[in-house]
Structure 1
């Protein structure tokens, strides 16, 4: 199989998994409390990741000097933000949740500038402004036609995005060289234990109320999204450029919006759909490498 074909298949796989994840979270939280649902999700994912690491001969143990990073990843990359995502979907549509999360590259860029004084090209700054302006307008439009509780869902998703971006910009650089399976295995297991214990006392779940559909959705999140999504995106990043891989952030919200409209019959307003296109174009601009436009202009002149 050629590299181009592998990249195409990996790209489609990542977009499909990320796009379906949002509907799965909505189905899961329909009858399972969010903390317990996320805990079960990671309880399904962690043994599979550990098994895969063993098969591939990858250690699951973090280096001894990375104890703080292990705790931060367990709490602020897995336990809290993933719980906030599924919690938020009790109040907003899965389509809107996916649009908010698609702004992850924007959040990473903002934090990189504020915390690490990263240089920003003009087109990246323009993309940032377009993406944030479009997102704020979309949220305002959707909240005006939704229940008052939608603000809770929006805040939960925004906080989750910020946490992920913060871990990405501060912890990943210190974990360079750690295999993706190591990065996910024990933090995922730790998150599952913490969440199941916390959920047991805070949510007092009644297992008899869990529907088969919700349980199936949680298992899908833990197995397909937990393993397939991680490994497919990891392999995609190895074979494609970071910019090419980041285009997934433009596609998966479209899949999530489509599934939300088919299953729940929920549609964004016409204005919000148009703004979504601008938002994704803004995200695309933030991911374009510095000098891209200069290269394009130079090519045209030559």
Structure 2
């Protein structure tokens, strides 16, 4: 039994590390993809690589590709508002925002989900969650103001794009809890991912034809990484992690991946945030912790 428990713990730790590293490195890789592709094309190619594997895994696992009758319109909404729009906005933002700051902006997702849940479902918000939300907003606001006009944040358009992507994901996440009950994660991702690939590639190629003679091999490798590692392994690792631990423990990745992204940006690109911004990261993560922390009422149920 001890050996089984130890193996189980090691598998959980490996999944947690895999998700953290995947989410933490994705932001820099998106930056590299932009050297040869537009945000729309890079995202479309990313999904084109990921979708066949996700479809194959769904079929192999006996999961249906289509949502139940009556929920298929929502499946189309996932292709547009969970995949196409937010992921394009995220990589578009990195044209003017550093990968480290982009990851930090995206880490406000728990606050966005909490806010959307309260607005759409009137889910209760504890006092500690409200305090955590205020701390996150103040810390993030300080970072944005301090880094604006530097190489970290060259334009507010990038900040707005990331935050809009966060809002889109938060809304779709809350709606998924309502409409996707009992639907597997593979069914929820496979066809919407493929649909997003076609939408983005058609739109992207019409707007900006690709000149293959000027495509950098590093950018191609970056798109492959985004499709295979982030698009497949990242999704599956997080799904398996959620099955093994509580939602609160799984959400601990939100404390790790921004630190990885910020460290990589500093070490590889020489882009370090200011001392004041670095100081604000601590209360920012503390606020995220308070938002994610289960309330005594929900924990006792």
My pick for the range that moved more, 114-123 or 233-242, is 114-123
C-alpha distance in 2, partners of 1:19/1:41? 17
Q: How many residues align?
A: 295
Secondary structure of the residue aligned to 1:289 is: coil
Q: 1:247 to 1:201 in 2, by over 3 A?
A: same
For residues 209-257 of structure 1, the C-alpha deviation after alignment (integer angstroms, 9 at most, x for no partner) is: 2210001000000001111110100010000000000010110000011
1:177-192 superposed matches below 5 A = 177-192=182-197
Secondary structure of the residue aligned to 1:205 is: coil
Give the aligned partner of residue 117 of structure 1: 122
User: Does residue 203 of structure 1 match 2:204?
Assistant: no
Q: CA RMSD in A?
A: 1.7
Instruction: Name the TM-score, length of structure 1 as normaliser.
Output: 0.94
User: Does residue 29 of structure 1 match 2:34?
Assistant: yes
Q: 1:147 to 1:17 in 2, by over 3 A?
A: closer
Gaps of 5+ in 2: none
User: Does residue 98 of structure 1 match 2:118?
Assistant: no
Q: 1:286 to 1:24 in 2, by over 3 A?
A: same
2:232 to 227, 235, 240: 227
CA contact (8 A) 1:199 1:205 kept: no
Gaps of 5+ in 1: 296-302
For residues 140-199 of structure 1, the C-alpha deviation after alignment (integer angstroms, 9 at most, x for no partner) is: 111142488421111110100000001011233211111001100000000000000000
C-alpha distance in 1, partners of 2:25/2:65? 28
1:108 to 113, 137, 144: 113
1:6-21 superposed matches below 5 A = 6-21=11-26
My pick for the range that moved more, 238-247 or 116-125, is 116-125
1:59 to 40, 43, 64: 64
CA contact (8 A) 1:3 1:239 kept: no
After the TM superposition, list the runs of 4 or more consecutive aligned residues in structure 1 that deviate by more than 3 angstroms: 146-149
C-alpha distance in 2, partners of 1:283/1:254? 14
1:16-165 superposed matches below 5 A = 16-146=21-151, 149-165=154-170
